[in-house]
Chain A
Amino acid sequence: MLRDRVVVTLALCLLCILHVPRQLDAADAAAGRAVFIRKSCVACHAVGLGRRTLGPDLSKLEKKLTRADLLEALKEPDKKIRKGYESFVVLTESGKVYSGRVVAKTADAITLITTNEKGVREIVIKQDDIDVMKQSTTSLMPRGLLKDLSDTDIKDLLAYLNSLPDTKPFPANLLSRVAKTGGAAVKRRVVFEPMANVASRTRFPKVDAEIELTTVPMQMRYDNTVFQVRPGSRVRLTLRNSDEMHHNLIVCKPGKLTWLDVAKAAWALGPDGPKMGFVPDSDLVVAATRQVPLGQQDTIDFAVPDVEGSYPFVCTLPGHAFLMRGEIIVSNSRHAIEDIHYSYYEGDWQKLPDFDVLKPKRSGESKVISIRNRDRNDRFGFLFEANLQTAVDGEYTFFITSDDGSRITIDGKTVVDNDGLHGEGEPVSGKVQLTKGSHKLRVAMFEFSGGEALHAAWSGPGLKVQPITEGTPASRFQQVQQFALEVGDTARVVRVNMPDATSRAIAVGLPGEANYCFDAQTCEVKYGWTGAFLDVGPDRGFGRGRGGAVCKVLGKRFNVGANGFPFRLGDLDTPPEVRFMGYRRKPEGPVFMYRAGSAIIRQSVTAAVTATGLTYTFQIDDSVQQGVRFQLKADGLKLSSSAGTWDGGTLTVPAAESQSFTVTVEVAQ
């Protein structure tokens, strides 16, 4: 919505810049005609041109509209929509969305009048290819048309409309002129210039699917991030750039981090990057646009492989990849929630009861998941069971908010737990890995007293946030924030819930893609990882929920032989009492400080130089000069140190050298 409004406004502005000069002194109706052109009304109401377009030809109405009718139509276009001019949204099997007016319908196909960058056009969509077709409650006529018109403009416009059909029709070339300059107002899209040398591109005579993306100004993102096509489809992809920076788009082979590998390869091109459009020579690249400057577009045709999966796409200009990416889902299946069965209960609960052992007051099939069908407003509960169809293997997210408690389970496993007495707060969410195919979905809720509500949604690969419950706007659940933290020139230190560590873990990202997890409870490095740093969304509720879940390590983990607190001092057989004292921030990484018995140990960590691994630098400050032992699980590791001798995973450092030494832990080749 917001984007639409921005684009419309932008387009209107363009119109203003390129506007047809006003005829201030001419007669009312003539000035109104200028307004009619300036506001691009003519693009959809082709007065006297005798061609089918989005709106009715106002000179050919069977009954002349009164001034009041006209004003109402201009002010509130959604109030009365003329028969035959309703707006439909069509989602095709190949994942493309069209909206427009249906002008013909047969058993095999529909003809839709819609708009694209070339202006108004008619397209024919085969009935077989239609996945969903919905009538919109809003008019195709844009709202707020009168907003930036002066009173005189409005009077003039009404005078002109009132004069129809007696005035002369528009010249035949007007429409193309409007489309070229600012028909944008109608198309809700700015005109982008194609890039030079388009002829050098391969073009399929016919494509199976069209993918269109526009960059969002100043936000480092594409407007659409998920598409679905069938395996082997011939795809026409158009990237339009409305951002001041250059952007490109590279479709990568399936894989969790192939986008990052491709982006890194592009950055590694160094000074050659711009020359090569930041497209690296890599097997992981499926297709790539060129580097598109502001206000231009690039269209490429390519065939997606026959292999089902999620194909990430990414902008490979330096630094853009973490924000600008999306995925093309290649799959023959589709996502759906079907065969909904409901059970309605009444009872006095303060948390979700086990509905399986209770007798429902009523149960049966239902078309939708909704709590509308209840007998009273307090002390009731619902259990919905349905068949959940997923199109591809992958991670799916379920969202729920309710008054009072609710829960979503899939195949018997709780995915989101929103139990308890509470109001309808911000949605809580949970993620689950699902295989392609059929799953058992259960949504349970109960209401104790006061208000009642249930809103749920899901998203997944190839599925933008989709409401599960009736009457729920998807926008309620959409996540706009990014939670993948990046590491720049200086080290990053983040305390969050980390996998495979206590809840007092500290994640450290060092410059140069070496990362590690230090556990401040046990005072040891638990593991390291290479590559990208950390997705902290789970611990931060993805900006909306309460959070507290374990974060996601984005790179490739490696073992450092962690086996509890590694030091023994003096008495070499008894673990000392350990107490974390804090850390000091330095650009190259933190220095941890902890007390072990009588000693204070300072530890800094750098990436190992010769292989995947970490180097620890220890400084031990002890009133008792004593030898230390440092021990790890040595399996699969190559261990070395600046002092002492190794016996398997145990390093013994004599008292004379124990004040300062390094230990390097590397993954054995």
Chain B
Amino acid sequence: MRVSKMNTRFAVAIKTLVLAVICGLFGVAPASAQEPQPRIIPAGYRVETIPIPEGVQFGVAGLDVAATGDVYAGTRYGEVWRYRAGQWSLFADGLHEVTGVTVDGESGGVYVMQKPELTMLIDEDGDGQADEYRCVSADFGFSGNYHEFAFGPVRDKAGNLYCTLNLSHGQGPSIKGGIMSVGERYRGTCFRVTPNGKFDIFAWGMRSPAGLGIDPRTDDIFYTDNQGDYNASSSLQHVVKDSFHGHPGSFLHKPAYKGKDINAIPDDEFLRMRQPIAAWIPHGEIANSPGNPVFDLTGGKFGPFEGQIFIGDQGRSNVFRVALEKVGGVYQGCVINCIDHLQSGAIRLAFAPDGSMWVGQTSRGWGSAGGVPYGVQRIVYDGKTIPFEIHGVKITQDGFDVTMTRPMKRDAIAPGNFQVQHWGYMYHAKYGSPKVSPTQVKPSSAVVSEDGKTVRLKLGKLEANRVYQLTLNGITGEDGAQPTTRNAYYTVSVLK
């Protein structure tokens, strides 16, 4: 090859410029302290974008952090990547759309939920690549339909594994003309696999249960469902043995319904069986397609929300909080937006041992407000700033206690600074639901607690099966700080 002066210059130009141009055009910048932050983020929190392997379609739909700090990210193209010491390496590949990753604390194996199978990946020789792809369970039906996602697993203290199964879209019969179809057996359920491999159905009635979580303190299982038929809005629900969660589709494969015409059973009958909703997640206002609930048990390393649930959302690309309480033995509580507008669809959250929160992201197929097709971000708390935010809401006999993270400026507090609106939802085979009879209520009093953090709002008689939206106007911290979000949505499933 003849190398002329021109060619050498040209090569140098290409090398330097292509890099510069690509960086310029795609906005790829090295991670720095100045990287763009979300539109809503409480004081003291920072979002870091984790660089992802070049040239890899890194649509994360499964993510977990091991006790060692190693992060495992499962992608929709069937790869599992391990992040250690700032480097990604390929741990496993060729899986069928990974939508759940859970590191097994005991064995060090990595559970992955792929569409056809719950699988454990075992790296026997410790070279950083899985050698054995062990089938843990394939006892559920899977037709190949795109919508037949499977999620989980979560593991309880006894070693049982729990997973959820999406309904199908276009495969098999649908219920009362609804959009989702039932597909093969056990779609729309939560199944359990015992430590000796026994498979059973733990709960019924799910539609698109994209997020599954477990409270490690109590073994309480929670899942999120996505708005759609028999789901007026997205929701967080408590899963117990044989609970029913709203969509009757899975009953087609429930022995008790064998031979019965599900379509002929009135919806009211299903509604009476439905597990009380722990928290409605108002569509459009908080989230449209929530992922897995994680429990902040970081002991304050992630800020002042210890014990609360964090959930990411795929469509809106945000992270919101849920503060639950038990009323009459039933979990219910409020949802509060937290960090809004991450770079991409925030479907997976996991806390790392250092108390930071990892966010696995994908937009493919449904789009996301974030706009970036996929990625990984990390949310870090500075360990000291107490942001002025709504901490949580608790129900009283005639109203709500609204608690802030730190004392409020007392002279600004009056009943008129709290707007309250409540509504119900319809239960039907149609997609979603409008708000039913939205009603404004004026608090008759607003009394501040001694520590200045809680306001007791008196509303009079509350109604069950309603969502109460509490909006703060002009409430500030003692230093004048404004909360980043002024709304809390409390679901009253049972009255106090």
Q: Which A residues fall within an 8 A CB radius of B?
A: 2, 5-6, 9-10, 13-14, 17, 190, 193, 196, 217-218, 242, 244, 293-295, 350-351, 417, 420-421, 423-426, 481, 492-497, 503-504, 506, 520-521, 539-541, 543-550, 580-585
Contacts of A242 in B (CB 8 A): 14
Contact A495 B10 (CB under 8 A): no
Say yes or no: A10 contacts B13, CB within 8 Å: yes
Q: Is the CB of B14 within 8 A of A244?
A: yes
The listed residue (B14, B115, B144, B146) touching A217 by CB distance below 8 A is B14
Distance in Å: Cβ of B121 to nearest Cβ of chain A: 10
B residues adjacent to A (C-beta < 8 A): 1-2, 4, 6-7, 9-11, 13-14, 17-18, 21, 25, 57, 76-78, 93-97, 114-117, 119, 129-135, 138, 142-147, 169-170, 179, 363-367, 430-432
Q: Are A13 and B135 in contact (CB under 8 A)?
A: no
Inter-chain contacts of A503 with B (CB < 8 A): 115-116, 142-144
Determine the distance from Cα of A504 to Cα of B21 in the docked complex, in whole angstroms: 44
In the assembled complex, the Cα of A325 lies from the Cα of B258 at a distance in Å of: 56
- B116 pairs with A504, CB closer than 8 A: yes
Q: Is the CB of B131 within 8 A of A496?
A: no
Q: Which of B17, B94, B135, B142 contacts A582 (CB 8 A)?
A: B135
A218 and B18 contacting across the interface, CB-CB below 8 Å: yes
Chain B residues, Cβ within 8 Å of A539: 96-97
B146 touches A504 (CB 8 A): no
Q: How far is the CA of A547 from the CA of B96 in the complex (A)?
A: 12
Within the complex, the shortest CB–CB distance from B436 to chain A, in Å, comes to 16
CA–CA, A350 and B429, complex, Å:
11
Report the separation of the CA atoms of residues A585 and B127 in the bound assembly, to the nearest whole angstrom. Answer: 13
**Cβ-defined contact, B364 with A548, below 8 A:** no
Whether A2 contacts B25 in the complex (CB less than 8 A), given A426-B365, A583-B133, comes out as: yes
Please tell me which one of the listed residues A6, A580, A585 contacts residue B130 in the complex, with CB atoms under 8 A apart: A585
A420 to B367, CA, bound (A): 16
Question: Would B13 and A548 count as touching, CB distance under 8 A?
Answer: no
A13-B13, A495-B78, A543-B57 known; 20 new pairs, CB 8 Å cut-off, are A5-B21, A10-B14, A193-B4, A218-B18, A493-B94, A495-B94, A495-B95, A495-B114, A496-B78, A503-B142, A504-B138, A545-B364, A546-B364, A547-B365, A550-B144, A582-B135, A583-B133, A584-B131, A584-B133, A585-B129
Q: Which residues of B contact A426 (CB under 8 A)?
A: 363-367
B307 CB to closest chain A CB, in angstroms?
34
Most B CB contacts (10 A, CB to CB) among A218, A548, A550 go to A548
Q: Which of chain B's residues have a CB closer than 8 A to the CB of A14?
A: 9-10, 13
A566 to B190, CA, bound (A): 33
Bound-state Cα–Cα, A506 to B119, Å: 14
* Most chain A Cβ neighbours within 10 Å, of B13, B77, B94, B366: B94
* Set of chain A residues within 8 Å of B431, measured between Cβ atoms: 350, 420-421
Q: Tell me which residues across on chain A come within 8 A of B138, comparing CB atoms.
A: 504, 520-521, 580
**In the complex, what distance in Å separates the CA atom of A273 from the CA atom of B131?**
38
Q: A546 touching B142 by the CB < 8 A rule? A: no
- Choose one: A10, A294, A504; the contact of B117 (CB below 8 Å): A504
Asked whether B179 lies within 8 Å of A520 as measured between CB atoms, the reply is no
Contact at A520–B117, with CB atoms within 8 Å?
Answer: yes
Q: Which residue of A lies closest to B13 (CB)?
A: A13
The 6 closest A-B pairs by CB, nearest first: A548-B146, A503-B144, A495-B96, A546-B365, A582-B134, A421-B431
A582 touches B119 (CB 8 A): yes
What is the bound-complex CA distance between A531 and B485, given in angstroms?
Answer: 58
* Chain A residues, Cβ within 8 Å of B78: 494-496
Min CB gap B356→A, angstroms: 30
Q: How far is the CB of B275 from chain A (nearest CB, A)?
A: 25
Residue of B nearest to A10 (CB): B17
CB <8 Å contact, B146 and A6: no
Assembly CA distance A358 to B95 (angstroms): 46
B92 to chain A, nearest CB (A): 8
CB distance from B140 to the nearest CB of A (A): 11
Query: What are 12 A-B contacts with C-beta separation under 8 Å?
Result: A293-B7, A294-B10, A421-B431, A424-B367, A426-B366, A495-B95, A503-B142, A546-B146, A547-B365, A548-B146, A580-B138, A585-B131
A541 and B364 in contact, given A495-B96, A504-B142, A547-B146 (Cβ under 8 angstroms): yes
Q: How distant is the Cα of A545 from the Cα of B147 in the complex, in angstroms?
A: 12
Compute how far the CA of A582 lies from the CA of B131 in the bound complex, rounded to whole angstroms. 11
A295, chain B: closest CB distance, angstroms: 5
Question: Closest approach, in angstroms, between the C-beta of A646 and any C-beta of chain B?
Answer: 32
B134 and A494 within 8 A (CB):
no
Q: Which chain B positions have C-beta within 8 A of A584?
A: 131-133
Residue of A nearest to B119 (CB): A582
